[in-house]
Amino acid sequence: MAMPPLQAEFFARMADPQGVRAIFEHLPGVFFFVKDAHGRHIAANSVTFARFGIKHERELVGAMDEKFFPAELAQAFREDDQMVMRSRKPLINRLEVWYDEQRNLDWFLTTKLPVLDKDGEVIGVMGITRRDEDRMRHHDVREVTAAVQYARKNCDKNVSTAELAKAAGVSERHLHRQLQATLGLTPHELMLRTRIQSAAEALAKTSAPIIEVALNHGFCDQSAFTQQFRKRTGMTPKQFRVRNQG
């Protein structure tokens, strides 16, 4: 679709075509990135550099995700990128557990969009990763907040949807709608991801055996824990611990 003349003229007059991305330097807690169709990093904001453990953009340009992440996690990112480029549709608010700029584990929402050239061909993907609280501030989510707080306080067991709804003071059906609207999660998935997040912190900060971490977070055995952990982080608990205990 052609741009309106006024809009086209304005962008054509800009001295720096990349000037718009400067705004991402002034959005606290927001990680911005651009990658080409081959998965090579093209640009990012400074907090993304800190997240990757580098100081300058020149260390980033041309690098693949494998330089900064374990192979399994890099592969998961790549699959998401390819899906976005192939479908030409954005990936909106994918909930992930990862590190913030202070290297603390927290929940983040990732959004990715395809990047098109002047002929309308897909040449890459761009996106942002941000804390989920930013999203929740824009909704009346008192019930959701109560559910999240209850989930975090009881991450040592497998809480039922009925118990979670009771803690939030609403029906199971209402809680399901609220969680889907604000976090894009079912009550079961909220509880599961909360347990995974807490378990990830235990793996990173303690030397407790993996089976002990699994049992302490409501998983019946290490196999079930590994399956769910890998599905949501892109790596096994052992790989996560090796990666993050340094």
Burial of 46 (0-12, 13-18, 19+ CB in 10 A): middle
What is the SS3 assignment for 32?
Answer: strand
> Which CATH number belongs to the domain containing residue 32 in this structure?
3.30.450.20
Q: Give the pLDDT of residue 225.
A: 95
Backbone angles phi, psi at 58, to 5 degrees: -65, -25
Structure tokens at 110: 């990732």
Residue 124 shares a structural domain with residue 143 = no
Residue 160 shares a structural domain with residue 49 = no
Q: Give the pLDDT of residue 133.
A: 61
Task: Report CA torsion sign: 128, 130, 134, 138.
Answer: positive
Residue 189 shares a structural domain with residue 76 = no
In terms of pTM, does the model score above 0.85? no
Per-residue pLDDT of the chain (246 residues; tens, 9 = 90+): 567 888 788 877 877 767 778 888 888 878 999 999 999 999 999 888 887 878 888 889 999 988 877 665 677 788 889 999 999 999 888 766 555 555 555 667 889 999 998 888 999 999 998 876 654 554 446 788 788 889 888 999 989 999 999 998 999 999 998 888 777 788 998 899 889 988 988 998 899 999 999 999 999 999 999 999 988 887 899 988 888 775
Q: Token pair 């330089």 is at which residue?
A: 67
Rounded Cα distance between 236 and 228, Å, is: 9
Which residues are within 8 A (CB) of 70 and not within 5 positions of it... i.e. 6 or more apart?
234, 235, 239, 240, 243
Q: Give the pLDDT of residue 141.
A: 62
Residue 71 shares a structural domain with residue 167 = no
Residue 61 shares a structural domain with residue 180 = no
Q: Give the pLDDT of residue 246.
A: 56
Q: How far is CA 16 from CA 6, 104, 113, 193, in A?
A: 18, 35, 22, 42
Give the end of a domain, one of 107, 132, 157: 132
Domain interval for residue 177: 138-245
Rounded Cα distance between 215 and 223, Å, is: 11
Give the end of a domain, one of 90, 105, 132: 132
Give the end of a domain, one of 86, 117, 132: 132
Residue 14 shares a structural domain with residue 118 = yes
> Are the beta carbons of 144 and 182 closer than 8 angstroms?
yes
Rounded Cα distance between 160 and 194, Å, is: 13
What is the SS3 assignment for 125?
Answer: strand
Q: Give the pLDDT of residue 71.
A: 64
> Are the beta carbons of 84 and 90 closer than 8 angstroms?
yes
State the total domains in the chain: 2
Residue 102 shares a structural domain with residue 69 = yes
Rounded Cα distance between 237 and 242, Å, is: 9
